[in-house]
């Protein structure tokens, strides 16, 4: 009997602090449409992981980062557990977050971030940055 074997894409899980001042937000071309995208860094001990996120999760992360900036909290305030998928090409490897669990102490910050996130997702009251951002692998032909 002929069997096709498939290899699932790799998944990464890591803890750390989102360096909220490092966040960049914009739009990535996905097909003929554009999707909200963010690029940010997660500090994990001596390491700094570069991570991307798309669509609703991008807006959620952006909302938390903007709220943290406004609240003037410490650089490592946004403690998170991240689940991410690898999307790679011949010369590049990118981590795409698929789930973020927030471990922040301030309930006020959490409440404010959730509100902004919901407003962004429902396209109410907040503008999304229009800068074009593309993962490096997407530009390789």
Residue (14 or 71) nearer to other proteins, CB: 14
Tokens read off for 26: 């914009």
Binding other proteins (rule: CB under 8 A), the pick from 15, 48, 75, 99 is 99
Number of other CB atoms surrounding residue 58 within 10 Å: 27
Residue (32 or 46) nearer to other proteins, CB: 32
Distance CA 136, CA 141 (A): 11
Distance CA 28, CA 96 (A): 13
Coil, helix or strand for 60?
A: helix
Which range of residues in 4-12, 43-51, 68-76, 123-131 is near other proteins by CB under 8 A?
4-12
Which residues touch 51 (CB under 8 Å, ≥6 apart)? 39, 40, 41, 42, 82, 84, 95, 96, 97
Judged by CB under 8 A, does residue 89 bind other proteins?
Answer: yes
Judged by CB under 8 A, does residue 32 bind other proteins?
Answer: yes
Residue (73 or 89) nearer to other proteins, CB: 89
Binding other proteins (rule: CB under 8 A), the pick from 9, 48, 69, 132 is 9
Site for other proteins in 43-62 (CB under 8 A): 54-57
Residue (54 or 71) nearer to other proteins, CB: 54
């Amino acid at each position: 009997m002929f069997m096709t074997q498939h290899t699932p894409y790799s998944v990464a899980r890591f803890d750390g602090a989102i360096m909220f001042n490092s966040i960049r937000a914009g739009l990535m071309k996905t097909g003929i449409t554009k999707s909200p995208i963010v690029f940010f860094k997660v500090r994990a001990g001596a390491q700094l992981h570069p991570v991307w996120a798309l669509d609703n999760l991008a807006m959620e992360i952006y909302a938390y980062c903007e709220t943290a900036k406004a609240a003037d909290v410490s650089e490592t305030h946004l403690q998170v557990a991240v689940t991410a998928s690898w999307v790679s090409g011949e010369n590049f490897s990118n981590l795409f977050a698929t789930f973020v669990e927030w471990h922040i102490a301030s309930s006020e910050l959490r409440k404010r971030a959730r509100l902004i996130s919901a407003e962004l997702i429902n396209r109410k009251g907040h503008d999304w940055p229009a800068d074009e951002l593309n993962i490096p692998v997407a530009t390789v032909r």
